[in-house]
Structures are given as C-alpha cells and as structure tokens.
A and B are shown apart, each in its own frame.
Chain A
Amino acid sequence: MTLKVKQENRGFSRYISYAVLFLLLFIVQNTGASEKQEELLIGIEPEHNIFDQVEKYRLLADYLSRKFDIKIRLTVMSRYGEVLKRFKSRRLDGAFLSSYTATMALKQLNLAPVVSQVNLQNISRCQSYIFVRRDSGIKSVNDMKGKNMVFVDPATTEGYLFPAVLLHKIGITEMNTFFNRYFFAGSHASAIFNVLDGKADIGCAKSTTFNRLTAKDPSMKSELLIVAESQPFPETTLCIRKDLPAELQQKLISVLLAIDASESGREILSKIDMNKFINATESDFDSISSMIDMVAKP
C-alpha cells in the first residue's frame, strides 16, 4: 500500500518536472523572440549581371541601415528557386522577389508582400514577351513545333509560367515532344541573347529587360519579333516575414514608401534605376497563383 502511494507520488512529481521544463523552454524561447533584432538579412534574386545588381542593392541597404539602428545585410540567391529554401531555413528576414517566387512564398511561407518597386519609366509591373528572330519564319505557336526554345528559369512568371500556360491552354503539356529542345538560360537578358545568337529559335523574357536592352541597342529590336505577350504582373516586390516585430515592419514600409520624398533618397533611387516604392498587397498575386495551379494540374 505504502509502496503504491510512493509510486503515485513519484509519477506526480515527474509530471511537475515536465511542466516546469516546458515552462522554462517556453520562457527562453519567448525571451529570444522578444530580443531586439540586430540585423535584417534581405535576399535578392539573381539577374543577368549580379555584380551590378549587388552594387545597386548595397546602396539601398546602406541607406536603410542609416535610417534604422540595425544593420541591413544583403544576400544574392544563387538562382530563382532557391529563395523558398532559404526562407524555410529561416536565414532570411525578407527578399526582393519576382512575381513567381513571391506568389510561391506567400503560398508556402509566412510572408507578407509590403512594397513593390517602381522603375524610372514609372512602371511597377512587367509583361512576359515570347519572341523569335524576325527571319525565323515563326509567327504563331503552331510554327514553334520542333524548334528550340529558351526559357529563363522554371521559377519565373515571365520566363516560364506564362509561356507554359499559353501552351497548356492549347493542349500542349509535354514540352519534350513539342519542342526539339528546350533549356533555361538563367536570366532574362541571357534568354534574349540566346535567340539573337541563334542558340534558340524562340525565347521568353520580361518586358522591362527586353525594352531596356532594345532601347540601348535598337538593332536588337529590328531583329526580334514579339509573337505573344501577357497581362502585366508585379515586377519586384519586397516580401518580409510576418513574424518580424510589428514596429520594425511598419518602420521598414514607411521608410521605403517615403524614400522618394527626400533628396538623399531620390539620389539613391536614381543610382539604382528606380523611381519609388508603392504598397503591395496579396491580391496582386492572385492571377499568378491561378496560373501556377493550372500548369500544376495534370
């Protein structure tokens, strides 16, 4: 009888110990969470010339660091699709994302779109262009059968998703059999050069890159023919973790939205080929989300 009571007591104190341990762990974890954020790590998706890109965003990061009492660091993801993995391992606090990765990040991770970039032409959105060499004889999707196609990256709206949806809508789901060969160039500019150089017959890229390159060298425009274009999509959006301190989130948004109001801010913007930032919402990505679902379905 005595033995039974002793055993019951021992069992009870074990429960108490577990409860105390759980409480301690909970306190430690919450103390950690409420600790002051010492730095923000922001990711950037790679473009054609990552050296230029890093330099541009470094100017912005330095500006933001001066406005906050925390250090803002940048990291370039090695390729478009990597951003989701980075977020999953909690190494990033936010990232400037293209529309496809932003949509995926909103779907899979606890992120919020906060601001979108507006370029020097006062445009915050871009289209997908599907183009060919003017002398290729390709004028429609039907002429593309058996040709070589260059995409940008599977994790891009303008450089993969839009053309894939376009083909899907007319019943082409197997690119391996439709095209003689297809490959990914890794950047929008590279996809354009691949078609210009004849390494591919058909290419796709975002309109802003296409227009920038062809404005710089008009001979490119005379050699290329746009055979299809999409509706506009948000080009680059800063998405941040929803669990960042609310005060920090608000401050980041207000500093970026007001960056064009000051002389020093405008100077930074002009150096990085930007005009201003505007508010972004989750609904900006609804159409892309539907496109992803469409292609994902068998």
Chain B
Amino acid sequence: MKRKISITFFCLLLFCAFLYHETAAAAEEILIGVVMTGKTPYYEAMHEAFSDSLRGRTPNGKQIKIIVQRPFPDPIALSNAARKLIAADVDLIVSYGSPATLAVIQEKSGIPLVYAGVYDPESLHIAEPEVTGCGYKVPISSLLRHLRSLKQVSILSVAYSSLEEDSVRQLDEISALAIEQGASLQKINIRSHKDLTNIGPKKVGDALFVTGSAIISELLDPLLLVFREHGQPSVGIFPDVKDSGVIITLYQIPKEQGEKAAEMIYKLMLGWQPNSVKREILRDTELVFNLREAKILGLKPQINLISESTKVIK
C-alpha cells in the first residue's frame, strides 16, 4: 500500500514537472506583430532587413514569432489589422510607414511599438511613451535641384495619396519649395486605380514628382505610362524596384531602417522601456539616375548628375 502511494506521488510530481516545463517553454516565446501598408517594396525591403537582423539577435532561451499584416492603406483596414494583432496578444508591434503607425497608436493598446519608414517622424508629434522607432528624411529640395538640372520645370505634377500621412506631408514640403522656386503645382491625388483615369493632359506638367506612398507604389507602372506618353520625366523618393522608369530617385536606404528597428526591438526584449530607446531619423541616401530612361525621353544630363549618382542605370 505504502509502495502504491509512493508511486502515485512520484507520478504526480513528474506530471507537475512536465506541466511546469510546458508553461515555462510557452513563456519563452516572444510574439511580434508587424503592420505595413500593402505590399510596398520599400517597406518589404525594410521588413526583410528587420527579420534578418533580428534572427541574429534573439535573447538567450527565447523564441521569436512574427505575425505580419499587410492591409490596404485605408484607415478601416489599418485599424482592423492593428486590432487583430492586439487580439493575438502580441508582445511587441512593429509598423512601417505613418498610416500603419498612426493606426496602431490610435488603438491605445499600451503594447510597445517600434516604427520604421515614417517620413519626418518629428512632425507627427508622437507623445505616447510606449512608442519609439526610426524614421527617415530625404532632402526633397536636392531631388528637385537634380530634376531642374535635367529639365526646365515650370509646372510640377505631384502624385500623392490623401490616405497616407507621409505622402501628404511630402506634398506640403514640395508645395513650399515650388513657391520658393517660382514653379506651379499640379496635385494628383491617387486613392485607387480609378484616380489614374482622371489624369488628363492638363494634369501633366513638365515633370512628375512621385511621393512615398504605398498606393502609388502599386500603381506606379500605369501612372508613369501616362507621363511617358506626354514625354515627361518623373522623380521619386522610393527606390524604383520594379524598374518602372523613374528617372531620378533619391531615397533613404530601407535596409538601414530595418536594421535599426531590429536593434530597438532587441533592446525592448532585453527589458528596456520604449521611452528610454531614443527615436531616430536616418538621413543617409542613395541617388539613382536612370540614364536609359533619360535617353528615351531625349533628356541630356549634366555631368554633375552622373558623377553624383550612387548608381547610374544604363
């Protein structure tokens, strides 16, 4: 009898130890939720660098699981994506771009948030203590200067999306610069494919400025086609990954933002408070000149543009 009790007690102990082990193992997993607007190549490149960098930074004995949400960049879809991550009980959230970042902040979940790919984040005035991250700033004035070295621009068409905060702030910046430089602006608001059909000859100025927008990134080919048909060049602040024919691109290297976001997430995993991780603005840029496209449009670049370019597409 005594022996029977001992065996039962021992089995019970074993079962408890097994249960404890399972609970402990579950606690070792860190769940990271990611929201990015659409399948934007710029944000995808950032996220790839983030994931690669984080792989080598996992704290000892912990496992990282990443859930990615790629909603269309309208406020409802973004809000739903943020709610899904909150419902999944993620430990940390990473957002790419202003629309995704603002959508997560609006949910007021209190979950630590690291943003990346936000244009000029200081102008968003994010006060929440659980938020940190790295944004970027591109000298738009410089991009306009390079464009002017290629072509006289009296009317500048600007493609932006009123659904995306980053894109709108870039439009404001371009407007101020255009006034300074005596050029007039043709604003082209793109919220869906339908808006492309509204671009008549009057909207096509002397050149097109493509702001950093998830929607425009997806519609870049048909948008550029309209301007090419009128022989007008385009410039942009997102890399022309699909080789759509943007003549000059001046962009912040997405890999750097992805790696910086990973560094910040790592600190949070080690127990840092988000407000003790300094928010950063990255300013390193790459200047890419598409000489092939310039030739097609009959534009002759000045030697400065070629010599200053980090990459020349021939």
- Report if A and B associate in a common complex: yes
Complex Cα spacing A208 to B284, Å: 27
Provide the bound-state CA to CA distance between A287 and B311, in Å.
40
Which of B177, B181, B250, B303 contacts A197 (CB under 8 A)? B250
State the interface size on chain B (CB cutoff 8 A).
21
Within 8 A of A (CB), among B120-159: 137-139, 141-142, 145
Contact A197 B304 (CB under 8 A): no
Shortest B177–chain A CB gap in Å is: 8
What is the bound-complex CA distance between A220 and B146, given in angstroms?
A: 12
Residues of A within 8 A of B142 (CB): 193, 196-198, 223
Report yes or no: A197 in contact with B308, Cβ–Cβ below 8 A.
yes
**Assembled-state Cα–Cα distance A136/B246 (Å):** 28
A51 in contact (CB, < 8 A): yes
B283 adjacent to A201 (CB under 8 Å): yes
Return chain B residues, CB-CB under 8 Å to A198. 137-139, 142, 250, 252, 283-285
**Given known contacts A190-B308, A196-B145, is B139 in contact with A223 (CB within 8 Å)?**
yes
Total chain A interface residues with beta-carbon distance under 8 A: 20
Find the A residue at minimum CB distance from B177.
Answer: A219
- Chain A residues contacting B138 (CB-CB under 8 Å) are 198
Contact at B141–A223, with CB atoms within 8 Å?
Answer: yes
The answer to whether A190 and B145 touch (CB under 8 A), given A197-B139, A199-B285, is no
Q: A136-B283, A219-B145 are in contact. List 12 more A-B contacts (CB 8 A).
A: A48-B304, A48-B307, A189-B304, A193-B304, A197-B139, A197-B250, A198-B139, A198-B252, A198-B285, A199-B286, A220-B145, A223-B142
25 A-B pairs (CB sep. < 8 Å): A48-B304, A49-B303, A49-B304, A133-B283, A135-B137, A190-B307, A193-B304, A194-B308, A196-B141, A197-B139, A197-B285, A198-B139, A198-B283, A198-B284, A198-B285, A199-B284, A199-B285, A199-B286, A199-B287, A199-B310, A201-B283, A219-B141, A219-B145, A219-B181, A223-B139
- Which residues of B are interface residues toward A (Cβ below 8 A)? 137-139, 141-142, 145, 177, 180-181, 250, 252, 283-287, 303-304, 307-308, 310
Q: Give the interface of A toward B (CB within 8 A).
A: 48-49, 51, 133, 135-136, 148, 189-190, 193-194, 196-199, 201, 217, 219-220, 223
